Chain A
Amino acid sequence: MKQKSLINRLGGQKFIVLLVVIALFAFFCALSPDFRKVTTFIDILSKSYYLIFMAIGVTFPLITGGVDLSIGTGLICYSLAGGYLIVQKGVPTGVGILVCLLFGILIGFINGWLIAVMDLPAFLATLCTCMITRGLGSICSKSMGICWPQNGTPGGEFRSIFKIVVNRNQYPVGIIWALIVVAIMAFVLNHTKIGRYTFAIGSNKEAAILSGINVKFYHIMSYVISGFFAALAAVAYSAVFTTVQPGTGAGFELEAIGGAIIGGVSATGGAGSIEGTLIGVFVICLLKTGLPFIGLQANWQQIITGLVLIGAVLVDIIKRKKEEAV
């Protein structure tokens, strides 16, 4: 038996990335007094929920060896569709949310069907649905920005799911929900058939088929999960931000996918974890919110995310090369 190193026993890459998160946090705290405020901290959390949800969802397609590029524009699309019904058509908020979630599941199913049944390359199929959802979003909202009901107005109670304000004190309860969802999905990934076969598809699809697994079904499921979580992210996004603008959302998917890959999901499939993804997302979130505090434009975050993503994949590739050489 191989003697596992201390780092490996603590979770390998996850542990290192966790250290990076802490180091980044300390770094921004040290450099910027404004960053040290509680409100900033709550702000970071508030803006992390939708990314966490997206990243959890996209972890599944990534593990199968595919990718879902439609989650970013999809998020905006679902939010606009749900929001339009609530604000313009006066349906209850709950129904709006339900529509939002169903829409996400539908798009996820279409992605999965195109990839698993029609055999299209994952990045291409989802690139197309990415464009399509962007168009659909604008059409749903008639190209207008949509404001989901504000806190304190009728139907705005859903915002308290993520943040409760009592006597001007803010309580970021969203993080509790996020952690519960992480726990549930970690269970799904590690202890249910869906998760097990998601890994099997990414590890060796042929062997999975030969083992008598209904590979097409589980392959589609991974994209349905991704779509559903993009819709969940849409709810979180609508709750945290005031307005949802059509035409935005492109680039969110990279942050989510980047987070997942930094957190140890293999770009070629077969490996990954929900906890890792969660930690990876926080790297992205910290960069995103932290950089402006030390005088850099927020756009630097885009560049850095791109580079970090490639860095993370390179580490993975080099690691595998070394393993093969042994």
Chain B
Amino acid sequence: MEKFKQIPIVRKIGFNRIVLVVVMILMYIFFCVGTKGNFLGYERILSALNYAYFLGFLALGVTFVIATGGIDFSIGPVMFCAALVSGYCLTSFGVPIVAALIISVLVGFLFGCFNGYLVAYWNVPPFIVSMAGMNIAKGLASVFTKTQSVSWPQLAQGGWFRYLVKVGNIPVGFIIFIVFSIICAIILNQTKAGRYILSLGSNKEAVRLSGVDIKKWEMLAYIICGTLVGIAAIFFVGAYTTVQPGYGDQYNNEAIAGCVMGGTSMAGGLASIGGTVIGVLIIALLQEGILALGFTKDYQLIITGIIVVVAVYADVVARRRKN
């Protein structure tokens, strides 16, 4: 095993990521066998991908926040809030679709600013901000839509934004998601923002004493997260039809699960976009597979919960060993 880890190509890709890919393939095989081949179809894969898009954007976003050593579990409800507010503008105020999409991103962005400002400039514990943000997002969405669900138009009704997800049977969404992942990876690894976000997650005080405006960069991480959550909303409504106020919490856990499984450390300072992408694909496949095996959504919740616990514990153990 140690030898295998030393092979150059393995080191380049990262041992953990290879393990994750293997896990994903095994899972796929398991589901195919478990459903007596039902899972093999292209349809199923497309369906899993639909789930992966919005979840992927959420996970990309929260990766930045976790990299700073913080947390944001308001992302699910904020995504719903963005989808509801923009959808309501679209269906009730008749704004053009482009404008609605921009509004969606804007809502996410504003929540990101709000959360980031409180955490970075006021030192409010991130979990408190998340909790408050979650409720404000839910409340705002319900108030804005008068507690009605919102249906985004289908393709036949001029819902061209659905092409963002799928043209015919071509998963355009997957391409867009990968493009965004690459952009995020570049931001995280190749820009000043990413450098400072990761560094302050590892040792805030050392970065401050290097003369860096840590508050600005910490807030930026939350803003990036919020914006990506806004984009996630677009892909949610692009793949599904109706959005109901009052929901969205379960996606927090799934996004965080994807993130942590991919090797992003809850203690901050260590993050991998590539890992997050694979992690999200696994989670999406898992959700789809559980349903395909004939279990209800409830089992999804439980299994994801257990996965997060295990992944975080693995991170805790890894850190303990290092010290």
Q: Do chains A and B touch in the complex (CB under 8 A)?
A: yes
What is the interface of chain A, defined by CB distance below 8 A to chain B? 67, 69, 114, 118-121, 123-125, 127-132, 134-139, 143, 246, 250-251, 253-254, 257, 261, 267-268, 297, 299-307, 309-310, 313-314, 317
Pick the 8 closest A-B CB pairs, nearest first. Answer: A302-B139, A135-B301, A303-B139, A299-B142, A306-B136, A135-B298, A306-B132, A135-B302
B181 at the interface (CB under 8 A from A): no
| B residues 258-303 in Cβ contact with A at 8 Å | 266, 296-302
| Contact, CB under 8 Å: A135 / B305 | yes
Q: Which residues of A contact B128 (CB under 8 A)?
A: 261, 267, 309-310, 313
Chain B interface residue count, Cβ-Cβ cutoff 8 angstroms = 47
B220 at the interface (CB under 8 A from A): no
Question: Pick the contact of A300 from B124, B143, B298, B301 — CB < 8 Å?
Answer: B143
Would you give the shortest CB distance from B149 to chain A, in whole angstroms?
A: 14
Answer whether A302 and B136 are a contact pair too, CB < 8 Å, given A123-B127, A127-B252, A268-B125: yes
Answer whether A139 and B305 are a contact pair too, CB < 8 Å, given A302-B138, A302-B139, A306-B132: no
Answer whether A128 and B253 are a contact pair too, CB < 8 Å, given A306-B139, A307-B132: yes
Q: Which residues of B contact A261 (CB under 8 A)?
A: 128
| Contact, CB under 8 Å: A131 / B136 | no
Answer whether A303 and B316 are a contact pair too, CB < 8 Å, given A128-B253, A309-B131: no
| Contact, CB under 8 Å: A138 / B309 | no
What is the interface of chain B, defined by CB distance below 8 A to chain A? 71, 73, 118, 122-125, 127-136, 138-140, 142-143, 146-147, 245, 249-250, 252-253, 256, 266, 296-302, 304-306, 308-309, 312-313, 316, 320
| Contact, CB under 8 Å: A305 / B135 | yes
Answer whether A120 and B139 are a contact pair too, CB < 8 Å, given A131-B301, A132-B302: no
| Contact, CB under 8 Å: A134 / B301 | yes
A-B pairs with beta carbons under 8 Å apart, 22 shown: A69-B131, A119-B316, A119-B320, A124-B71, A125-B309, A128-B309, A132-B305, A137-B298, A139-B296, A139-B298, A139-B299, A139-B302, A250-B249, A299-B138, A299-B245, A302-B135, A302-B139, A302-B142, A303-B135, A305-B139, A306-B133, A310-B132
Q: Which residues of A contact B143 (CB under 8 A)?
A: 297, 299-300, 303
Interface centre among B133, B142, B143, B305 (most CB of A within 10 A): B305
Q: Which residues of A contact B299 (CB under 8 A)?
A: 135, 139
Count, A-B residue pairs, CB within 8 A: 140
| Contact, CB under 8 Å: B135 / A313 | no
Q: What residue of chain A has the Cβ atom nearest to residue B301's Cβ?
A: A135
Q: How far is the CA of A135 from the CA of B122 in the complex (A)?
A: 36
Interface SS of A by simple majority: helix
Would you give the shortest CB distance from A107 to chain B, in whole angstroms?
A: 12
Would you give the shortest CB distance from B228 to chain A, in whole angstroms?
A: 20
Q: Which residues of B contact A120 (CB under 8 A)?
A: 309, 312-313, 316
Question: Pick the contact of A313 from B124, B308, B312 — CB < 8 Å?
Answer: B124
Q: How far is the CA of A189 from the CA of B63 in the complex (A)?
A: 39
Q: How far is the CA of A266 from the CA of B112 in the complex (A)?
A: 25
| Contact, CB under 8 Å: B71 / A300 | no
| Contact, CB under 8 Å: A121 / B125 | no
Q: How far is the CA of A121 from the CA of B125 in the complex (A)?
A: 13
Would you give the shortest CB distance from A195 to chain B, in whole angstroms?
A: 23
Would you give the shortest CB distance from B131 to chain A, in whole angstroms?
A: 5
Q: How far is the CA of A241 from the CA of B123 in the complex (A)?
A: 39
| Contact, CB under 8 Å: A132 / B266 | no
| Contact, CB under 8 Å: B298 / A314 | no
| Contact, CB under 8 Å: B298 / A138 | yes
Question: Pick the contact of B301 from A114, A132, A317 — CB < 8 Å?
Answer: A132
Would you give the shortest CB distance from B163 to chain A, in whole angstroms?
A: 33
Interface centre among B124, B132, B252, B306 (most CB of A within 10 A): B132
| Contact, CB under 8 Å: A132 / B313 | no
Q: Which residues of B contact A302 (CB under 8 A)?
A: 135-136, 138-139, 142
Question: Pick the contact of A306 from B124, B135, B296, B308 — CB < 8 Å?
Answer: B135
| Contact, CB under 8 Å: A297 / B146 | yes
Answer whether A317 and B312 are a contact pair too, CB < 8 Å, given A124-B71, A310-B128, A310-B129: no
Answer whether A300 and B139 are a contact pair too, CB < 8 Å, given A128-B305, A267-B125: yes
| Contact, CB under 8 Å: A138 / B296 | yes
Q: How far is the CA of A300 from the CA of B136 in the complex (A)?
A: 9
Interface centre among B128, B134, B250 (most CB of A within 10 A): B128
Q: Which residues of A contact B302 (CB under 8 A)?
A: 131-132, 135-136, 139
Q: How far is the CA of A1 from the CA of B308 in the complex (A)?
A: 51
| Contact, CB under 8 Å: A310 / B124 | yes
